[in-house]
A and B are shown apart, each in its own frame.
Chain A
Amino acid sequence: MEEFIQHLINGLSLGSIYALIALGYTMVYGILQLINFAHSDVYMMGAFIGLYSSRFLGIQEKPGLLSFISVLFISMVGCSIVGFLIERLAYRPLRGAPKLNALITAIGVSLFLQYSGQIVFGATPQSFPNILEDADLLALGGVHLTLFDVTIFMTTLSLMLILRYIINSTKLGKAMRAVSYNGQWASLMGIPVNKIISMTFIIGSALAAAGGILVGMKYPKIEPLMGTMIGLKAFVAAVLGGIGNISGAVLGAMIMGIAEEFVVGYGASTYRDALAFGILILILLFRPAGILGKLNVEKV
């Protein structure tokens, strides 16, 4: 039982990280129907911006809530700029082109970020600065609830609430929903579609940056290729929940995180990567639109 609860806690914290990244995938997909492969590398950039900004500010050895929040903030702003530039330079010129071209471009951008990251940051893993001291908040028998788990969960939760507010209660959010419903009609209603798409990328990238910082804290080795696998899994989480659906992405990410922790915890750790895709395939075969997604019936 203790073991079970411990795995559940670990799974929730892993799921929160997946959720932050999955939201970026699902928002971009909802609006552009594009799998933004470069998103996982924006997340990688987030971790590295965190590393360098903490060095620059001289707070890499001064753990504390203030250091954590300032690094998080800088990294989110930095990644927003990266996300904006990616959309502006690589995706916008392809707006009318076939979907596959945009997809290949996304892969190209992803490779570009990874390999230029290897040149700029170096290919060897670097250790992430200690911006927050980990401690056991609660230790009941064998169950440990650490400060990191709580921080990860709280950060995700608050960012999620902000996102929810933006999407449901602001003019920007209304415009985003309109564009994802139908871009052409939205532009006829006077919504500046390109600006809204840029904003989507900015918000998604900021969330990915937060994911990068949290992963950096929890698993303190970061390297330029760190995004690939976690990016794929976050994407799978988005599909699992129903791609284009915000709450679906969070739900899918939590399921993925918890399932993965249980598989690792109960022995089959070498199969952890296969499990993610196994779940996905089963869900897609029996419910192709994902858990919360709506299936579009194709009409002539």
Chain B
Amino acid sequence: MDFLFNEYILSMIVYCGVNIILAVSLNLVNGFTGQFSIGHAGFMAIGAYLSAYLGMNFHTPFILNTILGGLASAAAGYAVGLPSLRLKGDYLAIVTLGFGEIIRVVLLNIDAVGGARGMYGIPKDGGFFWTYGWAVATIFIISQLMRSTHGRAFLAVREDEIAAEAMGINTTKYKVRAFVISSFFAGIAGALFAHYLCYLNPSSFGFMKSIDVVVMVVLGGMGSITGSVIAACIITLLPEALRPLQEITKIDFRMVIYSLTLIILMLTRPKGLFGNLELSDLWKKYVKRHS
């Protein structure tokens, strides 16, 4: 497949895949479980750095690095989630934001991974098939999870925490579970990103990256995996698609247009592109209408 595209287009496609993993996994927490986390980039950073470090210094196989990166992120997710998921709404948001920033600042201060200079010479690995393999795995696991008892419990927590508790669901436990699973996939995405780019810098995992992922989830529709996938592609490709405009006008309008699109979309389509519907729901609707 690689020979069909030039390097630039291929890299855009791979970044789409990485962002799909991030968006779908964050959707589990923000969309399905109804919690509000804005520190996803921090967990991505843990996976990315651990995996890159292992690959550079111990030459362990790529798949092992990715999974260990994911597990480390999951462990961090557990450590962060257990105390903070007792908080609600905006407080939770600001605590996750804080943890995300702390992870970034700590990475900035660890010399073994390059600190502020960044980390060079990470072995090149992964690419199209690995990324989309993991993306498909993420989508499959999370959509299957949502059909299971666990998934129902997540939804119950989102709809009404008190009622869920009355039905015997341990809300904190389920919130932490959603958080851990979501962090695991964020770590995987980070590892794929690190080995594809071969270079890491703490500044790529700042507040803006977390916001980007949140925007993908909200743009696609909270609780719609299809929406997250499509929104991840849009958010990744939109700045690139607007590049010709910049070349013509010599002014960088891309971020202005990006932010305006965001505002207008929220004003005109507050439920995101898909609401909480999936592609399969839309297909059923379509079939019903035409039969």
Residues of A within 8 A of B (CB): 29, 33, 35, 90, 93-94, 97-101, 103-105, 107-112, 114-116, 118-119, 228, 232, 235-236, 239, 243, 270-271, 273-274, 276-278, 280-281, 284-285, 288, 298, 300
In the complex, what residues of B have CB within 8 A of residue A119's CB?
Answer: 251-253, 256
The chain B residue with its CB closest to the CB of A119 is B251
How distant is A187 from chain B, measured CB to nearest CB, in Å? Answer: 22
**Contact residues of B between 58 and 116, Cβ < 8 Å to A:** 83-84, 86-87, 89-91, 93-95, 97-99, 101-102, 105-106, 108-109
Given contacts A109-B259, A119-B253, A284-B91, contact A274 B218 (CB under 8 A): no
In the complex, what residues of B have CB within 8 A of residue A111's CB?
Answer: 255, 258-259, 262
Please tell me if the beta carbons of A100 and B218 are within 8 angstroms of each other in the complex.
yes
**B20 on the A face (CB < 8 A):** no
Please tell me if the beta carbons of A104 and B215 are within 8 angstroms of each other in the complex.
yes
Please tell me if the beta carbons of B91 and A288 are within 8 angstroms of each other in the complex.
yes
In the complex, what residues of A have CB within 8 A of residue B161's CB?
Answer: 298
Please tell me if the beta carbons of B211 and A273 are within 8 angstroms of each other in the complex.
no
**B36 on the A face (CB < 8 A):** yes
In the complex, what residues of A have CB within 8 A of residue B244's CB?
Answer: none
- Bound complex: CA of A119 vs CA of B257, how far in Å? 12
Q: Which of A29, A90, A103, A300 contacts B162 (CB 8 A)?
A: A300
Please tell me if the beta carbons of A90 and B36 are within 8 angstroms of each other in the complex.
no
Given contacts A108-B262, A112-B260, A228-B207, contact A277 B270 (CB under 8 A): no
Q: Mark B207-223, 1 if CB is under 8 A from A, else 0.
A: 10001001100100010
**B237 on the A face (CB < 8 A):** no
19 inter-chain pairs at a CB distance below 8 angstroms, sorted by A residue, are A33-B90, A35-B94, A94-B267, A94-B270, A97-B266, A100-B218, A105-B262, A108-B263, A108-B266, A111-B258, A119-B253, A270-B109, A273-B105, A274-B102, A277-B101, A281-B84, A281-B98, A284-B87, A288-B91
Instruction: For the A-B complex with A100-B222, A107-B215, A277-B97 known, give 6 more contacts whose Cβ atoms are closer than 8 Å.
Output: A104-B266, A119-B252, A119-B253, A232-B97, A284-B94, A300-B162
- Bound complex: CA of A97 vs CA of B272, how far in Å? 12
In the complex, what residues of B have CB within 8 A of residue A274's CB?
Answer: 101-102, 105-106
- Bound complex: CA of A271 vs CA of B110, how far in Å? 11
Residues of B within 8 A of A (CB): 30, 36, 83-84, 86-87, 89-91, 93-95, 97-99, 101-102, 105-106, 108-109, 161-163, 207, 211, 214-215, 218, 222, 251-253, 255-256, 258-260, 262-263, 266-267, 270
The chain B residue with its CB closest to the CB of A288 is B87
- Bound complex: CA of A184 vs CA of B266, how far in Å? 24
Please tell me if the beta carbons of B218 and A101 are within 8 angstroms of each other in the complex.
yes
How distant is A287 from chain B, measured CB to nearest CB, in Å? Answer: 11
The chain A residue with its CB closest to the CB of B269 is A101
In the complex, what residues of B have CB within 8 A of residue A239's CB?
Answer: 91, 94
Please tell me if the beta carbons of A99 and B211 are within 8 angstroms of each other in the complex.
no
How distant is B270 from chain A, measured CB to nearest CB, in Å? Answer: 5
Please tell me if the beta carbons of A94 and B266 are within 8 angstroms of each other in the complex.
yes
- Bound complex: CA of A97 vs CA of B266, how far in Å? 9
Please tell me if the beta carbons of B259 and A236 are within 8 angstroms of each other in the complex.
no
- Bound complex: CA of A270 vs CA of B107, how far in Å? 11
- Bound complex: CA of A111 vs CA of B214, how far in Å? 14
- Bound complex: CA of A284 vs CA of B252, how far in Å? 40
In the complex, what residues of A have CB within 8 A of residue B97's CB?
Answer: 232, 277
Please tell me if the beta carbons of A112 and B102 are within 8 angstroms of each other in the complex.
no
How distant is A201 from chain B, measured CB to nearest CB, in Å? Answer: 16
Please tell me if the beta carbons of A99 and B266 are within 8 angstroms of each other in the complex.
no
